[in-house]
Structure 1
């Protein structure tokens, strides 16, 4: 991968206690996740970047959300920030916690079979009932 394929990012939680920086692959966009866990975790849908590298300042709290992953958040303000699959070194980062401009584009929707009954998805992007 050429260095030009990587985009630098920074971000933080609402109160600023947790800050992070790193790079992500320019070829990746975002998929909005509509699963019930993501909706409960974030208050609606959740989208994340998959960083190539990342440094975290501060100590996020971790919650075991399922038998295969954990979710990271700020223990002070409660901002939902991270998702990590067991056994993976990669920590997904909430797109909503990134500093602007991100340059990211939403590519589609996943787990739409589990979406909330209070909204419609009408943006014309691809919808996958599962992942």
Structure 2
């Protein structure tokens, strides 16, 4: 079956517009969406890593400043009552210690999520 040239050009334009360009637009949107999702997950993982380091550092700093020999909250220090804020500092240290253990867990959950959906592989 031989078609006239104009009909072939019209069919090509239809195919180009509704198949090729539509498929290209779909994949461009998918890549953009996956790039954005991968960026968000990586940002969350980095935030949890930062919070882990900050909480561990802050807990160590508070212990060093407040609970070592010769400080106000040292329970071994003879002849003096611990300062009134020592109980609060103990609670803060416990919370920071829990955070320094829990934050890497949350970060690894997002690492697993990133590996599961493989956003970075689709966009590269």
TM-score class normalised by the smaller sequence = under 0.3
Which structure would you say has the larger RCO, counting Cα contacts within 8 Å and 6 or more residues apart? Answer: 2
Q: TM-score, normalised by structure 1?
A: 0.20
Greater strand share, 1 or 2? 1
Q: TM-score, normalised by structure 2?
A: 0.20
Larger radius of gyration: 2
